[in-house]
Amino acid sequence: MKIMNNTYQNLMNRKNEIMKKSVGLDYEKYELEGIGFDFELMMNDQGYNIEKIKQIQKENMVGNTPLIELKNITYYARKYAKPGFGARIFLKDEAANISGSFKARRAALSVNQAKKLGYKGIIAATSGNYGAAVAALAAKEGLECIIVQECFDSKNISQPEILEKARKCEAYGAEVVQLSVGPELFYSFLKLVDETGYFNASLYSPYGIKGIETLGHEIAEEIMEKVGKFPEAVIVTNAGGGNLTGTARGLKDAGALDTLVIGASVNLYGLHMASDYDFNRKSFTTGHTGFGIPFAVFPDRSDVPRSAARPLRYMDKYVMVNQGSVFYMTETLAILEGMERGPAGNTSLAAAFSLAQTMKETDIIVVQETEYTGAGKHSLPQLSFARKNGIEIKFGNPIDEIPGKNIILPKNGSYLKHQDIDINELKKSYLKRFKDVDLSSNDYKYLCEELRIDISEVKDLMK
């Protein structure tokens, strides 16, 4: 390792330079005059078309995962729908990927790029499935690997799901660096990137997003083959926005231009993600509003100068479900369909169960991912951990759930309801950063592309 001046201030002053070097991308190339950048040029300038990405993933045991119709869950949803309503629910079983989640699609491209550019190792900051995916594919390609986790609170108490991911990363030979919750995560990660010279497998680089485009492509092609049309809706668990961005781009590229792209997050309103007190009072480490909303309204808060995850460019609808509903659907999937899967994809499944009841029987709604489950990711240890942290567990009406105080499982399927998040409010929050900026015509054009609205709507929201 290189010895260098890595004081906090020195690193922060050099962060753009460090990040640019660690992903092999000159982000300045894509900057426009004013507030914007050329998103499409950045995405299409990396030399990876859909066929090349599919080939790379195929060679790494990634992609071509089963698409399964959940007939029993569809029947269960129709029990609570009006006559003629209750869309057919399909699920893309991404647990079949090499590391047990859709994140392997992202990792395959990042690892391929690191290998191509001659990096000796790869590093990622993640408490989730992405760490396992990067570790697995780095091992396959003979690259060294470091995974940095935000893992425990000031009492040294760690969440069972995060510990589960750490064990999985270590099983693939990765070094896992575990940190307490708080601002030291980014500094520590930046310091390691600088000292090792490893490739930053950022979730927010073009490689991290383009790798997921194959998932949207496969969904469009397979549904068309099975039922002779594109799906009416695809529902995506939303956190940092990359899953939704990549899936939507793949759907569009395959011709599914009219398919609604719906984001779904777990409702964790009131819990601060960087709070030591709140850290262990939530039962979900990703796919929740604590990531989904901040990254939607300010995507460039990420670890690269310009994030390739831009959910407001693609999201048609955004919904949330409570924690108890996700646990309920996790058990429902196991009991009715014989599929035991982890909580991330079941966030979308819970929302799909409710949304399907508002759609016609002839409509198709696709839950675009599942994840593996294990000792720490299973519902029972999660609920036991919640109880130990003073969270009340009970059955009732999920709408009454207060994140950080209780977890309410639905009394039965009729109580499981999604709640809409007002996308216009998110767009207004996005625009707040520019309320005191003298915007040019090019700036307004950029904002129209970012928010998928016309200039008059941008100006109305700015007011």
Predicted confidence band of residue 451 (pLDDT cuts 50, 70, 90): very high
The better pLDDT of the pair 302, 228 is held by 228
Contact 64, 218 (CB under 8 A): yes
Tell me the mean pLDDT in the region 124-147: 95
Per-residue pLDDT tens over the stretch 74-109: 999 999 999 999 999 999 999 999 999 999 999 999
- pLDDT tens by residue, 335-354: 999 999 999 999 999 999 99
Q: What pLDDT, on a 0 to 100 scale, did the predictor assign at position 131?
A: 95
β-bridge partners, 392: 406
Alpha helices in 178-288 (DSSP H): 184-196, 206-227, 242-253
Domain segments of the chain as ranges:
59-98+213-421, 423-462
Numbers of helices and strands, H then E, in the chain: 18, 13
Statement: the pTM of the whole predicted model exceeds 0.85: yes
Strand pairing class (144-152; 88-92): unpaired
Q: 276-328: per-residue pLDDT in tens?
A: 899 999 998 889 999 999 999 999 998 899 999 999 999 999 999 999 999 99
Mapped to the 3 state alphabet, what secondary structure does 1-29 carry? CCCCCCCHHHHHHCHHHHHHHHHCCCHHH
CB atoms within 10 A of CB 387: 11
Question: How many angstroms separate the first and last alpha carbons of the chain?
Answer: 52
Top-tier CATH class for 59-98+213-421: alpha beta
Structure tokens at 58: 């195929």
What per-residue confidence (pLDDT) applies to 20? Answer: 84
pLDDT over 70 percentage in the chain: 99
**What is the gyration radius of the CA atoms in the chain, in angstroms?**
21
Is 181 within 8 Å of 279 (Cβ atoms)?
yes
Residue 265 has φ and ψ, to the nearest 5°, of -135, 155
92 touches 114 (CB < 8 A) = no
- How far apart CA 223 and CA 230 sit, in angstroms, is 6
Name the maximum alpha-carbon separation found in the chain.
70
Q: List, as one string, the DSSP characters of 250-281.
A: HHHHTT-TT-EEEEEEE--TT--TT-TTTGGG
Mean pLDDT of 126-133: 91
Residue 4 has a pLDDT of 59
Q: Is 282 helix (H, G, I), strand (E, B) or coil?
A: coil
Query: What pLDDT sits at residue 1?
Result: 46
CA 306-312-313 angle, 5° bins = 80
Contacts of 119 (CB under 8 A, 6+ apart): 143, 197, 198, 199
Q: Which DSSP letter does residue 122 get?
A: E
pLDDT given for residue 273 in this prediction? 81
181-220 pLDDT per residue, tens: 877 788 899 999 999 999 999 999 999 999 999 999 999 9
Residue type, 292: G
Q: Look at residues 181, 179, 183 and name the one whose alpha carbon lies nearest to residue 166.
A: 179
Close Cβ partners of 338 (under 8 Å, ≥ 6 residues apart):
none
CB 202 within 8 A of CB 303: yes
Residue 3 has pLDDT above 60, yes or no: no
Separation of alpha carbons 30 and 103, rounded Å: 26
pLDDT, mean of residues 413-437: 96
For the cut 50, the answer to whether the pLDDT of residue 443 exceeds it is yes
